[in-house]
Amino acid sequence: MDLIVIIGFLASILIGVSLGLIGGGGSILTVPILVYLLGITPVLATAYSLFVVGSTSLVGSVSYMKRGSVSYKTALVFAIPSFTAVFLTRKYLVHALPEVLLTFQGIEVTRDAGIMVFFAVIMVAAAFSMIKNGKKLQPESNGDDLNYPLIAVQGLMEGTVTGIVGAGGGFLIIPALVLLAKLPMKKAVGTSLLIIAAKSLLGFTGDLTTQKIDWAFLLVFTGLSVSGIFIGSMLSRKINDAALKKSFGWFVLIMGVYILFKEITGV
């Protein structure tokens, strides 16, 4: 087996570690690993990513459920409008966008570039909010005293953005749950994993009839990712909410800046 392929399979463990520790990072890590290290085509990699991230998040959410670190009401109220928005955005809005969004001094801004820049800006803004408030813990909440209409609106907005950029997951869900829904970081991670699992696995079913799935490869890759989420979940128990919240912010910031640099410079 080629060394780069071995590295690719080992890197899949990091997907689980990221999801278990911070409740996000799955999609952004999975697609590059599949494409650049394992030679999977981008379209198929996106489909595989949904299964890998969805399955890993589902397994990871179980440990958070056992610890009582999942707000089921919040997940339900957030998820229903989010799912609806993703479906409607992907079905109608994205396809309605022109290939060239605008031309500035002879430079064309394509739809794909515009979407990625939009995604990166959202990530950077969310990251700054998380870092700024990293030392300020939100009051503990059992999920019974929250503003559910506001959470539903957050889910609708997150689903719309996710539908536009075709990714997002925890990067958009975690800041919404922590900063606006006022959930403690660890409960937000557990709740986010449950939402991501449902969203990703439902999305994957749409690829079953359009993509040829190599199940042997996919199950091995997913198995390694699942092993990583146990590592991430154990690490999360040793890190307090403030440190975890701030670390998540820095991680999102680095990824957002990288995407901006890549799209603007074309490197």
- Rounded mean pLDDT, 161-186: 73
Residue 214 binned pLDDT confidence (cut-offs 50, 70, 90): very high
| DSSP string of the chain, one letter each residue | --HHHHHHHHHHHHHHHHHHHHS--HHHHHHHIIIIIT---HHHHHHHHHHHHHHHHHHHHHHHHHTT---HHHHHHHHHHHHHHHHHIIIIIHHHS-SEEEEETTEEEEHHHHHHHHHHHHHHHHHHHHHHTTTSPPPP--SSSS-HHHHHHHHHHHHHHHHHHS--THHHHHHIIIIIS---HHHHHHHHHHHHHHHHHHHHHTTTTTS---HHHHHHHHHHHHHHHHHHHHHHHTS-HHHHHHHHHHHHHHHHHHHHHHHHH--
**Residue 106 is part of which domain span?**
3-265
Q: What is the pLDDT of residue 219?
A: 96
Number of domains in the chain: 1
Residue 137 binned pLDDT confidence (cut-offs 50, 70, 90): very low
Q: What are the pLDDT digits (tens) for 177-187?
A: 877 777 887 78
Mean pLDDT of the residues in the chain:
79
Asked whether the predicted pLDDT for residue 130 surpasses 60, the reply is yes
